[in-house]
A and B are shown apart, each in its own frame.
Chain A
Amino acid sequence: MPSFLEFQTQLLNGFVLGLLYALIALGFMLILGVMEVINFSHGILFAWGAYFALTLRPIVGFWPALLISPIFVGFMGLILEFAVRRSYGKDPLFGLLLTFGSAMALEEVIRIIWSATGYSIAAPKFVAGPIVFGPIFYSKYRLFLAALAALLIVLTWLFLEKTPYGAVIKAGASDSEMVMALGIDLKKMRWFVFGLGSALAGIAGVIAAPLWSIKPTMGLEAIMPAFVVVVIGGVGSFWGAVIGGLMVGIVTGVSVMFMPRTSQIVMYILMAIIVLIRPRGLMGEKSILE
Chain B
Amino acid sequence: MKKMVSAAIRHPLFWVFVFFLFLPYILPFVGGYTYLGVEVLIWAIFALGFNLVLGYTGLPSFGHGAFFGVGAFALANMQLRLIKGMWIPLLAGVVFAAFFGALVALFVAKKRGIYFALLTIAFSQMFWFISWGWDSVTGGEDGIAGIDRLPVGIPGLFSFDTSEILHFYYFVYFLFVVCAILIWIIVHSPFGRTLQAIRFNETRAKCIGYNTAFYKWMAFTLSAAFAGLAGGLYALARNAAFSDIMHWTQSGNVLLMVLLGGGLTSFFGPILGAAVFLVLRDLFSTLTEHWYLIYGLLIMFVIVFIPEGILSFFKKEEGKRGLLVFRK
Contact = CB atoms under 8 A, between A and B. Distances in A.
Interface of A: 32, 36, 38, 83, 86-87, 90-94, 96-98, 100-109, 111-112, 224, 227-228, 230-231, 235, 261-262, 264-265, 268-269, 271-272, 275-276, 279, 288-290
Contacts of A235: 114-115, 118
Interface stretch (B41-49, B79-87, B298-306): B298-306
B290 A265 contact: no
B60 A83 contact: no
B126 A36 contact: no
Interface in B114-136: 114-115, 117-119, 121-123, 125-126, 129-130, 133
B32 interface: no
A220 to B, nearest CB: 8
Among all A-B residue pairs, the 10 with the closest Cβ atoms: A101-B299, A105-B296, A104-B296, A93-B60, A268-B126, A108-B293, A108-B292, A101-B300, A98-B303, A289-B114
Interface in B85-117: 107, 110-115, 117
Contacts of A108: 290, 292-293, 296
A1 B229 CA distance: 44
A104 B303 contact: no
A98 to B, nearest CB: 4
Interface residues on B, range: 35 or more
Contact of A100 (B58, B115, B252): B252
A256 to B, nearest CB: 14
Contacts of A264: 129, 133
Interface of B: 54, 58, 60, 62, 107, 110-115, 117-119, 121-123, 125-126, 129-130, 133, 249, 252, 255-256, 259, 290, 292-293, 295-300, 303-304, 307
Contacts of B296: 101-108
B300 A98 contact: yes
A90 B126 contact: no
A161 to B, nearest CB: 24
A38 B252 CA distance: 14
A92 B290 contact: no
Contacts of A112: 290, 293
Contacts of B60: 91-93, 96
6 contacts: A38-B118, A38-B121, A112-B293, A227-B125, A275-B119, A279-B111
Contacts of A104: 249, 292-293, 295-296, 299
Contacts of A262: 133
A230 B118 contact: yes
Contacts of A97: 252, 255-256, 259, 299, 303
